[in-house]
Amino acid sequence: MSTFQQLTFPYSFDEKYAKKVAYFSMEFAVHQPLKTYAGGLGFLAGSHMRSAFELKQQVVGIGILWKYGYYDQVRRGDQTMEVLFQEKVYGFLQPTGIKFNLQINHSTVVVTAYYLPPEVFGTVPLFFLSTDLPENDYLAKTTCHRLYDANMEAKIAAGILLGVGGAKLLEILGYAPDIYHLNEAHALPLAFYLYQQYKSTDRVKQKLVFTNHTPEEAGNQKTDIYLLERMSYFSHLPLAEVRRITGHTGDVFNHTLAALHLAKLTNGVSQMHGEVMHRMWKGYDGISPIISITNAQNFTYWADPALHQALLAGEDATLLQRKKQLKRLLFDEVADQTGEIYSEDVLTIVWARRFAGYKRADLLLQDYDRFLRLITNKEMPLQIIWAGKPYPMDFTAISVYNRLVHMSKQYTNCSVLVGYEMKLSRMLKQGADIWLNTPRITHEASGTSGMTAAMNAAVNVSVPDGWMPEFARHGVNCFTTLPVNPTLPEHQQDQLDAGRVLDLLEKEVIPMYYQQPGKWVKIMKQGMQDIVPYFDSNRMAREYYERLYS
């Protein structure tokens, strides 16, 4: 039975933030119990919704209630990775009782919505759409089964559900947004729904803004335009009109290009990503201006309060004692999952994020002999932890993950964890001494895991990509390598970066930790100080209002 009455906010709006915004995202990571996310895009959206709540902004979030989530990462009998799709049940979500119809693939699909009240996790109001209803046939029900389903038609249907379904829900709720914010192009059908109403691209552009999160080909969807038309993606607009308003001439539809044409303003998610976007899209006429608003994460949620109390009080001994406690909590998880007993006195490196080829989880293993010298050094010992969830159909990334699993069985100071979600992510960041970041340069649009690591007294060791150039002061608040030439063949870039990261660890980072602990603590503290307030998502949420929504 529904307990939902009407859309209300638990606060009066700050007048700076009274403009009505609807934020559309395919994934939201607001807290571990709500598994509606895959990785960084969801972490970013969740932090944004928390900060919008803290700042008393008039923002409503629209997502999809994924019945099986992204997937559960478990192990096979030999410890390698297995994919489990397990039904999720959420007693804390309120059924709204709202039902309405949507056209997908020229069929009528019934949609409902579930409500996450602000008081549950400290977010603005969030609504999650679902087609898992008895009125629908099995195919329609599967629209909300799996986040980023490998089936192309399922992906298209999910986009229609999010974009058009979200717009219709807001109409029923009586919430008329001044701004519709597309967090990535997944909800692009919203733009065609609005165009059908307004019959004017200028009117659509007044309402629509767009955030692009990646320069990667896989993250910028391209689809056969006739398949999209058949599935009602364009709200029954004639193809000639679709092509005209989105700048397309051929039969391959570029979702990011269409969003750039229909938004009044677009933002990249770091200064560096904004520059990459300008280079990528400079040859296209009629697209929106592109600005940069650097991603950030919610300090209130991610930072350990005791670490920061010790930092503010200038109590280094208390800070280090708390860090050891947090390492022990992490090492309990390592022991439980892998049977390895780690020591809180040993320098601990963590590489943890979504497993994708360009993020190069196995970069240290490029020069295997040097890697072995590092991990078998008794004078200055290391402990290394990997964690992350590959896309369940990315068999190349899964093979990298499994290679690390097999390697780690041979060494008691190497381990690979499963279940890299919000709970484990926080544990890893709070327990890491070094947060290792190794993307192929210009491929990581922002990357935010290192921000929350620095909030928890972990020292970033990174290539200078994404957000890092805006933060990094080498040897002061982190350690960074020199950038490689991104025009070199990828295997040469990987060899160069592997050599530079290993040099940095061998010659500077590891010796400093063991031989100059005072200097190490100074860098650790400087990272904690420099990460806020700029990389707290409250800054980002303010900047969206000031620069993207204005």
**pLDDT for residue 1:** 43
CA atoms within 13 A on the CB side of 363: 31
**pLDDT for residue 549:** 97
Structural domains of the chain, with CATH: 16-297+539-548 (3.40.50.2000), 304-531 (3.40.50.2000)
Torsion sign across C-alpha atoms 531, 304, 41, 414:
positive
**pLDDT for residue 220:** 87
Per residue in 168-201, pLDDT tens?
A: 999 999 999 999 999 999 999 999 999 999 999 9
- What does the angle CA 154 – CA 156 – CA 158 come to, to the nearest 5 degrees? 70
DSSP-based helix, strand, coil % in the chain, nearest 5: 45, 20, 35
- The radius of gyration of the chain from alpha carbons, rounded to an integer in Å, stands at 23
Helices 422-431 and 40-54: crossing angle in degrees, nearest 10, is 90
Question: How distant, in Å, are the alpha carbons of 6, 236, 272, 279, 491 from that of 261?
Answer: 34, 19, 22, 16, 35
Residue with tokens 């109409």: 171
Q: Is 244 exposed, middle or buried (0-12, 13-18, 19+ CB in 10 A)?
A: middle
Task: Select from 10, 56, 6, 66 the least CA-distant residue to 542.
Answer: 56
CA atoms within 13 A on the CB side of 374: 26
SS3 41: helix
Task: Report how far residue 455's alpha carbon sits from residue 450's, in angstroms, rounded to the nearest whole number.
Answer: 9
Could you list the beta-strand ranges (E) of 71-199: 72-75, 81-84, 94-104, 107-116, 126-130, 179-183
Could you list the beta-strand ranges (E) of 167-228: 179-183, 208-211, 222-224
Beta carbons of 197 and 259 less than 8 angstroms apart? no
Q: Is 477 exposed, middle or buried (0-12, 13-18, 19+ CB in 10 A)?
A: buried
SS (H, E, C) 299-317: HHHHCCHHHHHHHHHCCHH
**pLDDT for residue 219:** 76
pLDDT mean across residues, the chain: 96
Question: What tokens were used for 15?
Answer: 């007048």
**pLDDT for residue 217:** 77
Question: How distant, in Å, are the alpha carbons of 228, 265, 397 from that of 181?
Answer: 22, 10, 31
Please identify every stretch of the chain with a pLDDT value under 50, giving residue numbers as ranges: 1
**pLDDT for residue 435:** 98
Beta carbons of 477 and 527 less than 8 angstroms apart? yes
SS (H, E, C) 371-425: HHHHHCCCCCCEEEEEECCCCCCCHHHHHHHHHHHHHHCCCCCEEEECCCCHHHH
Task: Report how far residue 510's alpha carbon sits from residue 517's, in angstroms, rounded to the nearest whole number.
Answer: 10
Beta carbons of 259 and 191 less than 8 angstroms apart? yes
What size, in residues, is the chain? 550
Beta carbons of 446 and 434 less than 8 angstroms apart? no
Question: What tokens were used for 505?
Answer: 């660890």
CA atoms within 13 A on the CB side of 48: 32
Phi/psi-derived region of residue 222, left when phi > 0, alpha when psi is between -120 and 50, beta in every other case:
beta
Per residue in 387-422, pLDDT tens?
A: 999 999 999 999 999 999 999 999 999 999 999 999
Question: What tokens were used for 307?
Answer: 């670490």
Torsion sign across C-alpha atoms 151, 155, 157, 158:
positive
SS3 480: strand
Residue with tokens 């979200």: 166
Peptide bond into 533 cis (omega under 30): yes
Long-range (24+ apart) CB contacts under 8 A made by 227-231 are 227/152, 227/153, 227/156, 228/156, 228/253, 230/105, 230/106, 231/104, 231/105, 231/153, 231/156, 231/157, 231/160
Task: Select from 419, 440, 443, 423 the least CA-distant residue to 431.
Answer: 423
